[in-house]
Amino acid sequence: MSAEPMKNPKQYPILRNLQYSPLKQGEDSFVVLWDPTGLSQEKLVLPLNYFFIIQHFDGRHSLTEILSLYLKRFGEFLLPNKLEQLVNELDEKLFLEGDRVKTALARAKEEYRRAAVRKPVFAGRGYEAEAARLRKQIDGFFASEEGPGRKPSIHAGQPIKGLVTPIYDLKQAGPSYAWAYKELKEAEQPTLYVLLGTAAAGMARPFAVTDKDFETPLGLVQTDRTIVSRLWEGLPDSFEEDLCHRTEQAIEFQLPFLQEIVGQAKAFTIVPILCSFSALDLTDAGIKQDVETFLDRLRRILQEDGRPYCLIAAGDLAHLGLRYGDREPPTDFSFHRSMQRDLEMLKLVEELKADEFAEFIIKEEDRRRIAGFASIYSLLRLIEAKKGDVLRYDRGITDQFNSTVTYASMAFF
């Protein structure tokens, strides 16, 4: 049998893994598209009929077939040149798979690997870009009415084993971060921090490690060369997607807190790891084996190294609403029902039950899209603690349609 011939990408376009958000302007509805990886800096606002079209850019539908589907759906003809114009515009914006994206990706990887450090991406957007203002902003998170207050932790002075923190926008969720980092502030602090960040843009592999030091407005955070080099020796594939670190916020948002709380008193290092797999992915034997291989190797390296360390799992919880694929915006009832499910799920995290945590989400078929699963699961598989405690639970509203992200702060001793 002959192999299936390659399809012309101009006639069978494939949309990249983009993010989108609904937008309402007066009586008109649109969808905004953007690239979460940062490879493209462009945004594109599409009317709903064009959004219908690009949902068929999957490499299986030809432009001719899409025109036919459009006619069936909307009862009107779309001129072929209009569709070709859309394909060309998406290609120019690096929104379609193809040679243009491959070239841009190769260039971005080369630039990242040549760079001396990983530069801050969200300074001036997600948080203050000037050092004095950033310190004041962090202090404000602790002093906020939603913050942890001054009452001492019941674990004060004990060796801390781990934290769960949000990755949601610092300007809104900062007080929730403060609940976790207050525990670190009052605990016996190690000098090694394993940061397990959620790769919100997704990755092909379950984990991506980088050997870059991280720059912030408060100075340089050094990556632990000893741990990272040993990971490279045993699992070089886990560095293949280190470019993902360039634009992800999960690890970057933790660093100013670590610099202020730990770095003022002593030097510390980090092991920066991005995580990208769902609970449902673990039902695939191959993916589960890849996850276990990496975590077993990391656990062994940490044990042989012998230094005390703190694990920090940075990730949000449920994603509800139109922006995340639901057909309807969340209501008060649906949010509170999801909150109850979140708290049931977090009880398993408190009890360090990694497998039960995964099974809980699998039974739900991950309908609530628990984005921080990989980071939290990895923490549970690695941590040597007695138990965890939920310190704060909250949510953020991400668009005018009430799309909602939930998140929690936790500490483990």
Rounded CA-CA distance 187/262 in Å is 10
Whether 379 shows a pLDDT value over 80: the answer reads yes
CA distances from 196 to 26, 250, 383 (A): 42, 8, 12
Fold of 122-412: Protocatechuate 4,5-dioxygenase; Chain B (3.40.830)
Query: Mean pLDDT across the stretch 63-85?
Result: 96
Closest CA to 281 of 273, 293, 290: 290
CB atoms within 10 A of CB 369: 18
Query: Mean pLDDT across the stretch 394-403?
Result: 95
Residue ranges, CATH 3.40.830.10, the chain: 122-412
What confidence tens digit (pLDDT) does each residue in 240-297 have? 999 999 999 999 999 999 999 999 999 999 999 999 999 999 999 999 999 999 999 9
What confidence tens digit (pLDDT) does each residue in 196-227 have? 999 999 999 999 999 999 999 999 999 999 99
Query: Mean pLDDT across the stretch 295-309?
Result: 98
Judge if pTM exceeds 0.75.
yes
Rounded CA-CA distance 391/406 in Å is 14
State the residue for tokens 């790891």: 273
Question: What percent of the chain clears pLDDT 90, i.e. is strictly above it?
Answer: 96
Mean pLDDT for all residues in the chain:
96
Displacement of CA 193 from its chain's centroid (Å): 18
* Token digits of residue 82: 């209009």
